[in-house]
Amino acid sequence: MLKRVSRRYAAERRFRLLGLFAVGVSVLFLAFLLYSMAAKGLGGFVHYEAALPIDFARSDLMIDPASLRGPDAQQTVASADLETAISQAATATYGDRAAEMFGDGAVNALTKEILQRPQILSGRTTLWLPLGSKLDIAAKHRGDAHSEQLVEMLRTKHALRSSFNGGFLTASDSTDPSSVGVWGALKGSFLTILVTILLAFPVGVLAAVYLEEFAARNRWTDAIEVSINNLAAVPSIIFGLLGLAVFLNVMNLPRSAPLVGGMTLALMTMPVIVIAGRNAIKSVPPSIRDAALGVGASKMQVTFHHVLPLALPGILTGTIIGMARALGETAPLLMIGMRAFIATPPGGIADPATVLPVQIFLWSDEVDRGFVEKTSAAIIVLLLFMLLMNGLAIYLRNRFERRW
């Protein structure tokens, strides 16, 4: 008897441990995922710079200092062959093998420096310029033997320092990993989400109000409900196909534009908002409606003056969660052509653009090893935005939602 009881208790303990194990696996996986992204990606926010003495007076650069004060300053500098100048200066200081020490990142930095302080063009200055991708990897982890040697030499000469890579947050896509940034993709994401929220929020809220407050129980209402519930579970890539077939091929809207991306994502997020909205409206007690009707308000007034404001925090919470999902969505946007290489941030909702998740996908396909940490760094940026939005949703829920 006692033996049997102890056996049963042992089974109980095993079962309980199994449960703990299951939760533990999930939590550990999440921790591992976040840790591996952070470990790989934090390096993307830091880059190594090397000191480079440049003698502008003796270089072949043909920049007229007078034109730098004019409105075409940007163009003047861009048309000058800075790359050769940097390469020459590098070989002069560090020997022949340093010719390809710097990449596009250094050219951008030098352009900025010249525009800010044109007087440096007249003499010899030492500038700290970001290293090219190969050497940057060698300085951080380990690269090929050639780059390692160069980095070692720079270290012994105290010509190497690491600093925050501000360009990563302000630059756009590029073919050279040392000069890429997420700003273009972030701006594309903002514009896309803006279109999404402008379309999905009003439509979703109005549909929820109709279904909860006005709809008669008939076949039409059933059809609407069934299609909303189904749309919420349709794979996102199908919405991409819809966008491609309808928005691009039938309506002839511009390809790769945040407008089309936002419209596609709006169709995808609307059911989520409707479902959240209905739950929020349902939780407003009937006594509120009765009281308002009792003092002579019309049904519309009851809904828009009393029920909707009380349900709004719940609706907003659902909306933000839906928007966070739309922000992380990749597949439907690939379908409508938002995967092109776009080096300038979009100026409006009809310009070609890319979004952050698609940018991550594109970088993950690059062969260049420098893109690995950039991809992870972009993922960190994306996860931060997700965290921010979900945090906002939780805050709204705790701060404003009332239990009746």
Partner 1 sequence: MSLGLAFAAILMVAFAAAWAGFARGKRLRTAGRLHSLPVYHGAYAALWAAIPALLLIAAWAPIQSRLVDQSVLSSPEGRALPSFEMQRDSILSEAREIAFGQREQGFNPQSTTLAPRIKAEESRFALIGGVGAIALALLGAALALRRSAPQFRARAGVERWLMILLVAASLIAILTTLGILLSLMFESLRFFRLYPVQSFIFGLEWSPQTAIRADQAGSSGAFGAIPLMWGTFFVGAIIAMIVAVPLGLMSAIYLTQYAHPTVRAWLKPILEILAGVPTVVYGYFAALTVAPAVRDLGLSLGISSASSESALAAGLVMGIMIIPFISSMADDSIAAVPQAMRDGSLAMGATRSETIRRVLLPAALPGVIGGVLLAVSRAIGETMIVVMAAGLAANLTANPFASVTTVTVQIVQLLTGDQEFDSAKTLAAFALGLALFLITLLLNLIALHVVRRYREQYE
Binding to partner 1 (CB under 8 A) within 345-404 occurs at 352, 357-358, 360-361, 364, 372, 375-376, 379, 382-383, 386, 390, 394
Question: Whose Cβ is closer to partner 1: residue 153's or residue 238's?
Answer: 238
Stretch of residues binding partner 1 (CB under 8 A), selected from 66-74, 77-85, 116-124, 243-251: 243-251
Is 39 a residue that touches partner 1 (CB under 8 A)? no
> By C-alpha distance, which of 354, 358, 351 is closest to 329?
358
Q: How far is the CB of 256 from partner 1 (least distance, A)?
A: 10
Among the listed residues 37, 38, 159, 310, the single contact to partner 1 using CB under 8 A: 37
Contacts of 43 (CB under 8 A, 6+ apart): 140, 373, 377
Among the listed residues 92, 120, 203, 293, the single contact to partner 1 using CB under 8 A: 203
Is 191 a residue that touches partner 1 (CB under 8 A)? no
Site residues for partner 1, window 275-304 (CB under 8 A)? 298, 300, 304
Is 12 a residue that touches partner 1 (CB under 8 A)? yes
Is 210 a residue that touches partner 1 (CB under 8 A)? yes
Q: Can you read off the two tokens belonging to residue 194?
A: 């803006």
What number of CA atoms fall less than 13 Å from residue 138's CA on the CB side?
A: 21
Place of tokens 């999404």: 196
Q: Can you read off the two tokens belonging to residue 373?
A: 């940490």
Among the listed residues 54, 80, 137, 228, the single contact to partner 1 using CB under 8 A: 228
Strand order of the β-sheet with 124-130 is 124-130, 46-55, 160-164
Question: Whose Cβ is closer to partner 1: residue 245's or residue 343's?
Answer: 245
CA torsion angle for 44, 385, 383, 380 (degrees, to 10)? Answer: 10
Total number of residues that touch partner 1 (CB under 8 A)? 85
Do the Cβ atoms of 355 and 257 come closer than 8 Å? no
Q: Cα separation of 130 and 152, whole Å? A: 16
Stretch of residues binding partner 1 (CB under 8 A), selected from 127-135, 176-184, 264-272, 288-296: 264-272
Is 244 a residue that touches partner 1 (CB under 8 A)? yes
Question: Whose Cβ is closer to partner 1: residue 59's or residue 172's?
Answer: 172
Q: Cα separation of 170 and 78, whole Å? A: 18
Question: Whose Cβ is closer to partner 1: residue 66's or residue 216's?
Answer: 216
Q: Cα separation of 371 and 357, whole Å? A: 15
